[in-house]
């Protein structure tokens, strides 16, 4: 069994072996049936949205309880699982056969210090990228809270404040 640790040199490699997150936890590969909760730079209108090309977006806006969003130097959001009254908002995208594109998203997120959490939406499993436990203390030094947990609103407010 080959374990691949995600770092700057292998973040875009395709692999059939196990993939690990920042904390060394094994992460299951993305499948064509997977759904992802997208809440930041991959959303429509954001700078990484092109990575979701060909995937199918669901219409519902999802409010996820028990997660808190932070802005990392104003560039991208990261969320932590708090289990309390914090909320974030996002959209669900179906991988819909775009496995290689979804794998590239997974690698980008793992390389950036995230791990994968699984939530239930309408009784179906949905993957969400959250801050890895050992990464969170480091990134918090560079972060500010996103009070309402809505990245699009935060970025709009940031651009109008300039």
Query: Quick one: pLDDT at residue 158?
Result: 85
Query: Quick one: pLDDT at residue 159?
Result: 83
Q: Which residues of the chain have pLDDT under 50?
A: 1-14
Query: Quick one: pLDDT at residue 17?
Result: 64
Query: Quick one: pLDDT at residue 6?
Result: 39
Spatial separation of the C-alpha atoms in residues 52 and 155, rounded to whole Å: 20
pTM of the model: 0.86
Looking at the chain, how many residues does it have? 162
* 99-125 residue pLDDT tens: 999 999 999 999 999 999 999 998 999
| E strands, the chain, in order | 4-5, 19-20, 26-27, 35-38, 56-65, 67-72, 76-81, 87-94, 114-121, 124-131, 143-145
CATH class of the domain defined by 30-146: alpha beta
Q: Which of 16, 6, 109, 99 is nearest to 52 (CA)?
A: 99
Query: Quick one: pLDDT at residue 15?
Result: 52
């Amino acid at each position: 069994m080959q374990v691949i640790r995600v770092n700057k040199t292998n973040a875009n490699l395709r692999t059939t072996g196990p993939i690990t997150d920042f904390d060394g936890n094994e992460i299951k590969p993305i499948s064509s049936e997977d759904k992802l909760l997208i809440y930041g730079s991959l959303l429509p209108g954001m700078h990484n949205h092109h990575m979701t090309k060909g995937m199918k977006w669901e219409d519902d806006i999802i409010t996820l309880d028990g997660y808190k969003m932070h802005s990392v130097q104003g560039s991208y959001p990261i969320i932590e699982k708090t289990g309390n009254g914090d909320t974030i908002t996002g959209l669900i995208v179906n991988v819909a056969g775009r496995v290689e594109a979804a794998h590239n998203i997974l690698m980008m997120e793992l390389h950036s210090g995230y791990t994968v959490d699984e939530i239930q939406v309408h009784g179906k499993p949905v993957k969400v990228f959250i801050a890895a436990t050992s990464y969170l203390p480091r990134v918090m030094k560079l972060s500010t809270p996103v009070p309402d947990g809505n990245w699009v609103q935060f970025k709009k407010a940031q651009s109008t404040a300039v």
